[in-house]
Structure 1
């Protein structure tokens, strides 16, 4: 089931980047980039339940111990000032959590399956020989499945499932500067939401250009999302260093 879901989302992400690119311009040369990266992030999940708020905090080392699977990747297409980008995150992990009403419950656990797919159309608003500034708009889709188990003490054990899918509209900006022929820096920001949800992220990296095809980058990324539930509000955040390699053609 997961393989089918991931294949469908990855395929949609690639198709979106390529087909949107064709829609922006019919002539001229398109360039493409495919990025694989690792995000060594700390994870925080907070969710309201009928018994109170449950908080789970995982450091990266804890997350590795509790990680069932993860996938991360991005694609980009550019033609002149126009560009399209898509980024996919998938996490499946479990964590120990704080226990509401401690006299009633001895322990709490959260099992989560989280898919985040972001897509943007961008326009190069400013460019010089060594810097570029892009603005854009897009969407970020979330597929969230949380199972919160409250292990009973005085009260019986309870499991609360929260399954939520939604899309946030986004505005985005990216600034890139070449320090010299080989090294460069990038800053990317986006934010958006609806009345029932909101999300934002920030990414800062320093990169090394090995040749015309290969680039390597390292930096720091933060992503946060909050959404309404039947019991109140839930939120998650991911933060930590990131390393990636991009192949351009």
Structure 2
């Protein structure tokens, strides 16, 4: 009787162990399937804000009094949303077993009416700020297990700022002025991803531009939380900050371009 009971228990334990292993293997294969992608393309919208200093605003010809040498600004998205004339934001990534390549691009044009102390002399004062920036990186997938991934990248990023001022002298004579700056710099960067569940992913990105040889400091950081509705379609919420520090005689804007963002992504 004891031998028969022992034999029955052994069979039950073996069946339970087999079913558990099969279930675990099936779950692991399913998780792996949701993370089995090579391309991601993600249109997004950045609820952008500006905190810093604008240096040497443009001075139109015949301007009666020179503008101040700098303006300190601290505006959030709610302050500038009505001034947005154009916005385009896109991110993409490719990866294989060992390598990764990615890009980020954002463009924004703001235009608003400026109120000046010389309103009786200068009328219809329109200020337009154009911002375009992007980064491109390639790197190696250093850690790539199903739960945690770490990648190191090298690449470049660029920035274009332009400020235009249009006005009318005495409401009759149109005058305008502008200043612009284009900058490109090498960067080193990292990607981090943590997947506690096949449908949930937490990600982080950071890059740093060395201050040599142009004496310009820059860095960027992005954090996000993604939810995959299907193996192809996802949505992400995150926060992004882009810091710039140019020498004052070259600068148009120094400070942080920052804000929350929402991204819609497709992977395949």
Residues matched between the structures, number: 216
SS in 1 for 2:78: helix
Distance change >3 Å, CA 207–CA 231, structure 1 → 2: closer
Please list every run of at least 4 consecutive aligned residues from structure 1 whose deviation after the TM superposition is greater than 6 angstroms.
96-99, 149-152
What CA distance in whole angstroms lies between the structure 2 residues aligned with 1:231 and 1:121? 30
Question: Runs of 5+ in structure 1 lacking a partner?
Answer: 1-28, 100-104, 153-157
1:5-43 Cα deviation digits (max 9, x unpaired):
xxxxxxxxxxxxxxxxxxxxxxxx982111011111222
Give the secondary structure class of the aligned counterpart of 1:179: strand
CA change 1:187–1:134 in 2 (3 A) is same
Unaligned runs of 5+ in 2: 1-35, 57-65, 117-121, 170-174
Cross-structure match for 2:108: 91
- 1:1-249 correspondence runs (5 A): 31-44=38-51, 46-49=53-56, 51=67, 52-94=69-111, 110-147=127-164, 161-194=178-211, 195-228=214-247, 230=249, 234-249=253-268
Instruction: Tell me the alpha carbon deviations over residues 67-114 of structure 1, each in whole angstroms, 9 at most, x when there is no partner.
Output: 111100011111112011011100101367898xxxxx9xx9752111
What CA RMSD, in Å, does the superposition of the two structures yield over aligned residues? 3.4
Q: Is contact 2:180–2:252 with CA below 8 Å preserved after alignment?
A: no
Range that drifts further, 204-213 or 38-47: 38-47
In the alignment, the residues of structure 2 paired with residue 149 and residue 229 of structure 1 have an alpha-carbon distance, to the nearest angstrom, of: 24
Query: Comparing both structures, which one devotes a greater share of its residues to strand?
Result: 1
Bigger radius of gyration, 1 or 2? Answer: 2
- The offset of 1:210, in angstroms, is 1.7
Q: Could you tell me whether the CA contact under 8 Å between 1:56 and 1:98 is conserved in 2?
A: no
Q: Deviations over 1:134-186 (max 9, x none)?
A: 1111111112212367999xxxxx96522111101111111100011211101
Q: Quick check: 1:74–1:85 contact (8 Å CA) kept in 2?
A: yes
- Tell me the TM-score normalised to structure 1 length: 0.74
| TM-score scaled by length of structure 2 | 0.69
